[in-house]
Amino acid sequence: MTKNILLVGVGGQGTILASKILTLGLQKANLDVKMSEIHGMSQRGGSVTSHIRYSTEKVYSPVIELGQADVLVAFEKMEALRYLDYLKKDGKVFVNDFEIPGIPITSGQTEYPRGIIEELKKVADTTVIEADAEAEKIGSPKVMNMILLGTIIGSMDLAHIDWDTILAENVKPQFVELNKKAIRRGIELSK
Amino acid sequence: MLKKQLMTGNEAIARGVYEAGVRFAAAYPGTPSTEILENISSYREISAQWSPNEKVALEVAYGASIGGVRSFASMKHVGLNVAADPFFTVAYTGGNAGLVVVTADEPGQHSSQNEQDNRNYARHAKVPMLEPSDSAECKAMTKFAFELSEKYETPVLIRVTTRVCHSKSLVEIEDRKEVPIVPYVKNAQKYVCVPANARVRRREVEKRLDALKEYSNDCPWNFIEDNGKKIGVIASGMAINYAKEVFGADANYLKIGFSFPLPMKLMKKFIEGLDKIYVVEENDPIIEEAVQMLGAGERLFGKFDPTGKHFFPAYGELTSDVLRRTIKGEEIPAREFDRTKIVARPPALCAGCPHRGFFYELGKRKDIIVSGDIGCYTLGYASPYNAMDCNCCMGASVSGANGIQKALDMVEGNKKRVVGVLGDSTFFHSGMTSLLDIVYNRGNAITVILDNRITGMTGHQQNPGTGYTAQGDETKMVNIEAIVKALGIEQIRVIDPNDIKAVREALDWAVSLNEPSVIITRYPCVLKKMSVYDKEEFPTAYKEKCTVDRELCIGCKACLKSGCPAIYIKDKKAEIDPTMCVGCTVCKQICPKAAIKGGQL
């Protein structure tokens, strides 16, 4: 049975590294993996998405169908709503309680919508992650993405994969420990 | 031992180029093709270069092939329009060593101005084509394409799409196989395309096509998967994956990887005895029309159903949910929630982008029409600048401005001036000839070259103005002023775009002239890794931050008109996000109360 994970956020939030680490881990676990990213204009503050699909059998399409994501992880909370149609009926949302206002908001045309988390909770199995505060506790705001990756690992029962080695191979040596801690914290928060 | 690696399609094509023993590769950056040449550049065995445009890239690769080395060129779909001129004639001559061209198409237009289906180029130019559907095929087909190119003395076109380019899947890594350089022997009858020779080659092309038509039926990239069903699916490229998700083992498949010339005999054999045939292809109904010719009749469902009604969408991606909805009429039950809570998140010029000051001033002017171009600065079109009237393709800013100005000036007493705006890389790409046209044909348009010393939108590729090659070697840094002057422009100003007074004065000056002029705004892209030249010329760039003095701020929101994503309103007064601000001071210059402090200007 193919599992579908959708990571969404805003350019610069580290979704691409998080999905890279995730796919490497899935590969290491001898699963077939496909991943698709749309990031054409992401450096200019647009929204970014990573589709990750894996299975013990062959995976064909790298793109998740509407209504088929097992987990939706939103690095920015409004992005969770934007992509909510991808979530399965009984799928889970992990939402970072974090706001990045886009240009229509910073330029004063409209305001950042209130009540997003409440709206999410009304219609989907939603876990709120204070990834920003948690990252601070660990020692660097930059590991927010690894905390959120940890929530995926925890909720999809992937904790048995050797994430430590993958981190060691893909992250600068001075940041490996911080990232390990962040993933572990994410796993705890997913439960 | 074979090593498996997760790779994007683009990485896999680059790996295929490397393993195929290619020695020369050229490209011009363009989403979604850019990372192909970026990855090739990392192999020192290959001489890899960013050419000023796609036509040059293809021609130089063609030259290298005549010179005797396996050669490669890649480009986005619209890039092949630029390279179409050589492409059609190279198709007649073929090369000496293998020559392979990649076109990266964009069903869904994630990052492009149109959705053209470049499979049409294969038929149009009579060039064989391959369509990989995942990264493993990207690598294998690239290597295969060189064999095919040499065997049939033809360039080979590989068509990929955004989802093939930017999706990752497993690829087996192999070693590079060195291919000897083919000695050059003069053969003017083949390579000099005067009509007498070209007519002979034209006959050769037809013979070659006949042979390839036959071969297509036996080519290992075209094969049937018989599941003993009465429903058949024919698909190529990424579409086969979408179809397999939907039909699974409930259909027979004909997967077409070698898609021009199409395997007509194989297709005929495949559709025999089927009750229903689905042709799944993104964009144009190319396979579908061929299947119809084979007599599929009432059984065929593609872009149209047997009654002639639209079936699969004519445009956009045919992802598996789209197929499911079309075929099974299944609507995905959506959750009911308050969708007004989703605010659009359009791309925006980065905090500190040196285009900001320029577009802030440009957007305020009512006496001009702005002809835009392709690059980050296309965002000058968006709010709050609204500083663009038209934009079409690379280089069209300058020529378009010339034409608009000529038309406006046909009305006596016209006061409106037209400004063509383009970036440094776009100027090198195809702005230079357009500027020459202004000079030669007594045009009167204003040209602004936004020189941020890098090819920005595609993710920072070197260009003739940066002083470095694709492989990081130092090279001559081409001087834009000297080019502009040499083209015959006499009125030139170079300004700092972060200085909005200087921008205003330069625009006033250009509008006041009754002859063509060029303004060059020069400041390195905020995201660029500064070169030694940049550091020398812009020693203070991006070193400081601006802050708001909340005592002085009156909350007038004038600074928001800069469109900077670092500025926001908190408790009715402006705030600047210190993690984003780089101290460009555009907002500080706009503020009527001098409430913004700091920065480099």
Segment B298-353, tens digit of pLDDT: 999 999 999 999 999 999 999 999 999 999 887 777 899 999 999 999 888 999 99
Q: How far is CA B303 from the centre of its chain?
A: 26
Residue A156 has pLDDT above 50, yes or no: yes
Closest CA to B278 of B315, B322, B214: B322
Q: What whole-number distance in Å separates Cα of residue B210 and Cα of residue B261?
A: 9
Q: What whole-number distance in Å separates Cα of residue B324 and Cα of residue B243?
A: 9
Q: What whole-number distance in Å separates Cα of residue B95 and Cα of residue B184?
A: 11
If asked whether residues B587 and B557 sit together in one domain, one would say: yes
The verdict on residue B213 lying in a domain is yes
Average pLDDT over residues A73-80: 97
Residue A98 has pLDDT above 70, yes or no: yes
Domain end among B158, B187, B218:
B218
If asked whether residues B152 and B228 sit together in one domain, one would say: no
The verdict on residue B348 lying in a domain is no
**More reliable by pLDDT, B77 or A139:** B77
- Domain count across chain B: 4
Q: What whole-number distance in Å separates Cα of residue B317 and Cα of residue B458?
A: 22
**More reliable by pLDDT, B226 or B601:** B226
User: How distant, in Å, are the alpha carbons of B64, B70, B155, B170, B508 from that of B96?
Assistant: 9, 8, 10, 33, 55
Minimal Cα–Cα distance from B571 to chain A, Å?
Answer: 13
Pull the structure tokens for residue B276: 């229903």
The verdict on residue B339 lying in a domain is no
Name the region of B459 (left: φ>0; alpha: ψ -120 to 50; beta: rest): left
DSSP state of B467: S
If asked whether residues B139 and B27 sit together in one domain, one would say: yes
List the 383-412 stretch of B: residues with Cβ below 8 A of A: 383-384
Average pLDDT over residues B461-490: 98
If asked whether residues B273 and B379 sit together in one domain, one would say: no
The verdict on residue B345 lying in a domain is no
What pLDDT does residue B249 have? 97
What pLDDT does residue B455 have? 94
If asked whether residues B112 and B187 sit together in one domain, one would say: yes
Q: Do A44 and B350 touch (CB under 8 A)?
A: yes
Q: What whole-number distance in Å separates Cα of residue B500 and Cα of residue B510?
A: 15
The verdict on residue B347 lying in a domain is no
pTM of the predicted model as reported, rounded to 2 decimal places: 0.96
If asked whether residues B84 and B229 sit together in one domain, one would say: no
Alpha helical stretches, state H, B194-301: 195-218, 239-247, 264-271, 286-293
Q: Do A45 and B564 touch (CB under 8 A)?
A: no
The verdict on residue B342 lying in a domain is no
Which residue of A lies nearest to B33 if distances are taken between CA atoms? A40
What pLDDT does residue B142 have? 98
Residue B177 contacts A where some CB pair is shorter than 8 Å:
no
Amino acid at B98: G
The verdict on residue B264 lying in a domain is yes
Residue B105: count of CB within 10 angstroms of its CB:
27
Which of A96-110, B254-268, B481-495 shows the lowest per-residue confidence on average (mean pLDDT)? Answer: A96-110
User: How distant, in Å, are the alpha carbons of A182, B231, B393 from that of B34?
Assistant: 33, 39, 17
Chain B contact set for A101 (CB, 8 A): 568
Which pLDDT band holds residue B450 (cuts at 50, 70, 90)?
very high
Q: Do A10 and B345 touch (CB under 8 A)?
A: yes
Pull the structure tokens for residue B384: 């709050």
If asked whether residues B132 and B267 sit together in one domain, one would say: no
B188 phi/psi in degrees, rounded to 5: -65, -30
The parent domain of residue B567 ranges over: 546-598
Q: How far is CA B487 from the centre of its chain?
A: 27
Query: CATH number for the domain including B555?
Result: 3.30.70.20
Pull the structure tokens for residue B261: 């010339």
If asked whether residues B22 and B151 sit together in one domain, one would say: yes
- Residue A8, beta-bridge partner list: A49, A74
Closest CA to B586 of B355, B370, B348: B355
- Residue B225, beta-bridge partner list: B253
Which pLDDT band holds residue B2 (cuts at 50, 70, 90)?
low
Which of A44-48, B469-473, B477-481, B591-595 shows the lowest per-residue confidence on average (mean pLDDT)? Answer: A44-48
Q: Do A37 and B166 touch (CB under 8 A)?
A: yes
Average pLDDT over residues A79-94: 97
**Average pLDDT value over all residues in chain B:** 96
Per-residue pLDDT tens for B180-201?
Answer: 999 999 999 999 999 999 999 9
| Nearest CB to B345 within list A23, A87, A102 | A102
If asked whether residues B135 and B184 sit together in one domain, one would say: yes
The packing angle between helices A15-28 and A163-170, to 10°, is 130
Q: What whole-number distance in Å separates Cα of residue B346 and Cα of residue B361?
A: 21
What pLDDT does residue B330 have? 76
Chain A contact set for B240 (CB, 8 A): 60
What pLDDT does residue A40 have? 58
Nearby residues of B171 by Cβ (< 8 Å), 6 or more positions away: B4, B5, B6, B7, B11, B12, B15, B135, B136, B138, B139
Query: CATH number for the domain including B243?
Result: 3.40.50.920
Which pLDDT band holds residue A44 (cuts at 50, 70, 90)?
low
List the 276-305 stretch of B: residues with Cβ below 8 A of A: none
Q: What burial letters (b/e) apply to A105-122, b meaning 16+ CB within 10 Å?
A: bbbeeeebbeebbebbee
If asked whether residues B281 and B412 sit together in one domain, one would say: no
Average pLDDT over residues A100-127: 93
What pLDDT does residue B3 have? 86
Which of B157-171, B332-346, B518-532 shows the lowest per-residue confidence on average (mean pLDDT)? Answer: B332-346
Residue A43 has pLDDT above 70, yes or no: no
Average pLDDT over residues B513-540: 95
What pLDDT does residue B178 have? 97
What pLDDT does residue A109 have? 85
Domain end among B218, B246, B261:
B218
Q: Do A40 and B564 touch (CB under 8 A)?
A: no
Per-residue pLDDT tens for B221-242?
Answer: 999 999 999 999 999 999 999 9
If asked whether residues B148 and B22 sit together in one domain, one would say: yes
Q: Where are the beta strands (DSSP E) in B470-543?
A: 491-495, 517-522
The packing angle between helices B264-271 and B195-218, to 10°, is 30
**More reliable by pLDDT, A153 or B346:** A153
Name the one residue in this structure whose structure tokens are 């920003």. Answer: A132
| pLDDT > 70: percent of chain B | 100
List the 46-105 stretch of B: residues with Cβ below 8 A of A: none
Minimal Cα–Cα distance from B428 to chain A, Å?
Answer: 22
| Nearest CB to B346 within list A78, A102, A120 | A102
Residue B349 contacts A where some CB pair is shorter than 8 Å:
yes
What pLDDT does residue A138 have? 94
Domain end among B218, B246, B273:
B218
User: How distant, in Å, are the alpha carbons of B25, B128, B148, B157 from that of B71?
Assistant: 6, 16, 13, 13
Q: Write the secondary structure of B366-394 as one string of H (helix), E (strand) and C (coil).
A: CCEEEECCCCHHHHHHCCCCCCCCECCCC
Query: CATH number for the domain including B25?
Result: 3.40.50.970
If asked whether residues B404 and B532 sit together in one domain, one would say: yes
Minimal Cα–Cα distance from B168 to chain A, Å?
Answer: 5
What pLDDT does residue B1 have? 45
Chain A contact set for B344 (CB, 8 A): 102, 104
The verdict on residue B334 lying in a domain is no
| HSE-CB of B407 using CA atoms within 13 angstroms | 8
